[in-house]
Amino acid sequence: MAPSQDMLTVRRLRLGIGVVGLAMPFVVTIGNALFAGRVTLLDSISGAYHTGMRDVFVGSMCAIGVFLICYRYRRLDDVVSSVAGALAIAVALFPTAAGAQDGPVSATDVLVGRVHQVCAAALFLLLAGFCLFLFTRTDPAVVPVTPEKLARNRVYRGCGAIIVAAVALAPASTLLPDAVQEAVKPLFWCETVAVLAFGVAWLVKGEAIIRDGSGRGVDPT
């Protein structure tokens, strides 16, 4: 049976979210290197706001936010994705204070930066929740559990665990000596790993990877 238009829309939204998530760390890093004239890592992905890649970062986060808000599936998915979408837009509009180069950082900048950090952490945890609890649901009464579905669930759980670990390690990385943070950029790597895990999970849910051979069109579980 051919998938309905609604099913195709759901799949394309999933694919769109996954593609933007996977591309963003590479695009902002490469773009910043081109602007700077040398290869250098950002302090964090969010730090792209304070570089020539500001528009790309803000646009990518807003695109993810709009995709998530427009995502419609089951009621719980709708609520969680809408909250996550609002958080993604907030991450774009409330920039991190880290990496700012235009003069001293004011108290307002610090407050806005804290809002950014809270929204980013909450967003990642909601995305981890998608991977660990929503994407892994299985209803044998609706559709048989296939080997591909079991394989997808392993990917979802792995991606969710990676996101949670990255979120936990990110604040811990700030305790490292300044010289180590400057050389290694641990926050950038924590964010990059979490974003890539998020992107992979949504690509799998969008059936770009590990697709059933039944031709259903969209994983209904």
Residues in the chain: 221
CA–CA gap between residue 136 and residue 138 (Å, rounded): 6
Tell me, what's the pLDDT at 140? 62
Check if the beta carbon of residue 43 is closer than 8 Å to that of residue 28: no
pLDDT at res. 48: 95
Give 119-142 pLDDT, tens digit per residue: 999 999 999 999 999 999 876 666
Domain residue spans of the chain: 5-205
| Total-model pTM | 0.89
Which residues of the chain, if any, have pLDDT below 50? 1-2, 215
Residue 1, pLDDT score: 45
